[in-house]
Structure 1
């Protein structure tokens, strides 16, 4: 008896109070004789299934079809389907797998799992942001990670340079809807944005997972490094109280209230990777924001202001 047919038969038995051999044959698309042999093999293997002869009889699981084929407890099932949400039903492949798992649960857990799978939805794009970018070749990358198989890719850097690389894929990370590949290669261990990978091709070269690699630890270190680079330049601002929450929304973790002053004003620290980046983000606030430091930021804001006056200080020329 094939293992996949065994599982299908167990799920079918669990979903019905009692089944006949003819119903099993129709469900599994096998002959009536094969259905009877499968049911008898199931019983001989120690599965708690028994047959009741006569009119209205049939095969059923002992205990009213409450066998938990998935092995999940109520709390484990709840945690799993809360995590999955509607993502488990988002594609034909995951939909089939999710529904099989739901059907494998006892009836007492099945209703809750089904509701979680259809009633919890995660949308990782913030208001005003575009939907997450498509990750071309993600299936091939996933297979390479699982198989520990080297790949050859064409990668276009942020600056537009394109290189052909041979990589040993170690893991995939989705951050705010954007996929990243962590891989070893000639340049060492690096992170690659999946949307910049093209022509992903597998090789016949397999590799062992490095003993010093653990994905969550690597990603934590990587994000801390990137966040550090994105916040090298600090500026002190004096702003009205009402602006502070908006700046905190605008700059996120790179905004911190330093002190409270007189007349309803605050001293706030904001950070970015470059002085010009800070100036561009603050220019729209006009006189509401007073820059206390650094002087270079004041100079850059003055330059932007002068540029705006030259561009918009007079009526536009008619063509």
Structure 2
């Protein structure tokens, strides 16, 4: 985008005071001719940019003129316009966006405004179920992280009743459409899915931040642990013809296909948190998939079959 590049030129001028077209070209990775055209475009647009020929010459901002976008790179400014644009953005974020747009030269505003309207965020799936059930607690947790205070967190795990615990909020992360709180606990660093948070109450206690704590590093370590748990078990099976797309949709990268057997079926392997969980996921394909091992997966399917037969089978004596 040329508008994005012009912002970069303006910021580069602001940072360096005086630049040559060659320096601009090297900074933006464009030709010197393109750099010179961009500098001239800024001048034509009414920005106080002038050139001085000869030894020690170059392009400068008259009187050291500056823009309110101090410190932002072109990529950062563009990302902010795109990120702040969706209709789901908070009022504060939309207000900040409007101020940033006004800070741009008039000739660049239309592109910035277009970028701010280039996306939309929809937090519901096709069934109408909210994907961000914990969004109501996001602001409270963001405030707790910034203020550095402990919170009493109401939280429910899968298959467990809600309980409360006091944690030290350290940061927030998003992965695969879900938001997570990274927090210190009596058992070390832990992650909490926001869609499982039932309540957030700030306390008077100060949050303890581990020495040298870095959120990105901590998140990578915690995410790796979660992924290890998600891939702790492998189920071997064979799948009938026509199940490939269904299996790929169910398991994605957790699915591995092997050789095709003489009867036309295909050997597969699926990773998951436990044999029982994988077996339950495969159960929906009925007789089109036969689980071979481990025994725990076959036993889980047998139990499911008995339970379903008891509910949906023909009445006794029928």
TM-score, with length taken from structure 2: 0.67
Shift in CA distance, 164/212, structure 1 to aligned 2, threshold 3 Å: same
Give me the whole-angstrom Cα distance separating, in 2, the residues matched to 1:291 and 1:116. 50
Give me the whole-angstrom Cα distance separating, in 1, the residues matched to 2:170 and 2:228. 24
1:105 deviates by 1.3
Q: Could you tell me which residue of structure 2 aligns to residue 297 of structure 1?
A: 297
Q: Could you tell me which residue of structure 2 aligns to residue 200 of structure 1?
A: 201
Give me the whole-angstrom Cα distance separating, in 1, the residues matched to 2:292 and 2:205. 60
CA contact (8 A) 1:74 1:109 kept: no
CA contact (8 A) 2:237 2:289 kept: yes
Give the alignment of 1:27-106 within 5 angstroms: 68-71=67-70, 72=72, 74-86=74-86, 90-106=89-105
CA contact (8 A) 1:133 1:177 kept: no
Shift in CA distance, 273/93, structure 1 to aligned 2, threshold 3 Å: same
1:47-75 deviations in Å (ceiling 9; x for gaps):
x8xxxxxxxxxxxxx99xx9632145655
Structure 1 position 118 matched with structure 2 position 117: yes
Residues 186-195 or 217-226, more deviating:
186-195
Runs of 4+ with >4 A deviation: 72-76, 124-129
Shift in CA distance, 259/217, structure 1 to aligned 2, threshold 3 Å: farther
Shift in CA distance, 70/146, structure 1 to aligned 2, threshold 3 Å: same
Give me the whole-angstrom Cα distance separating, in 2, the residues matched to 1:111 and 1:264. 59
CA RMSD of aligned residues (A): 3.2
Give me the whole-angstrom Cα distance separating, in 1, the residues matched to 2:249 and 2:228. 19
Give the alignment of 1:161-172 within 5 angstroms: 162-165=163-166, 167-172=167-172
CA contact (8 A) 2:239 2:267 kept: yes
Give me the whole-angstrom Cα distance separating, in 2, the residues matched to 1:287 and 1:183. 44
Shift in CA distance, 199/140, structure 1 to aligned 2, threshold 3 Å: closer
Shift in CA distance, 112/182, structure 1 to aligned 2, threshold 3 Å: same
CA contact (8 A) 2:82 2:118 kept: no
CA contact (8 A) 1:181 1:192 kept: yes
1:153 deviates by 0.8
1:114 deviates by 0.9
Q: Could you tell me which residue of structure 1 aligns to residue 161 of structure 2?
A: 160
CA contact (8 A) 2:156 2:198 kept: no
Shift in CA distance, 85/261, structure 1 to aligned 2, threshold 3 Å: farther
Q: Could you tell me which residue of structure 2 aligns to residue 7 of structure 1?
A: none
Aligned residue for 1:203, secondary structure, equals strand
1:241 deviates by 4.5
Give me the whole-angstrom Cα distance separating, in 2, the residues matched to 1:85 and 1:289. 46
Give me the whole-angstrom Cα distance separating, in 2, the residues matched to 1:228 and 1:129. 31
Q: Could you tell me which residue of structure 2 aligns to residue 11 of structure 1?
A: none
1:249 deviates by 1.0
Shift in CA distance, 78/211, structure 1 to aligned 2, threshold 3 Å: same
Give me the whole-angstrom Cα distance separating, in 2, the residues matched to 1:308 and 1:197. 33
How many residue pairs match? The answer is 252
Give me the whole-angstrom Cα distance separating, in 2, the residues matched to 1:280 and 1:145. 38
Look at both structures and tell me which one has the larger radius of gyration over its CA atoms.
1
Q: Could you tell me which residue of structure 2 aligns to residue 213 of structure 1?
A: 213
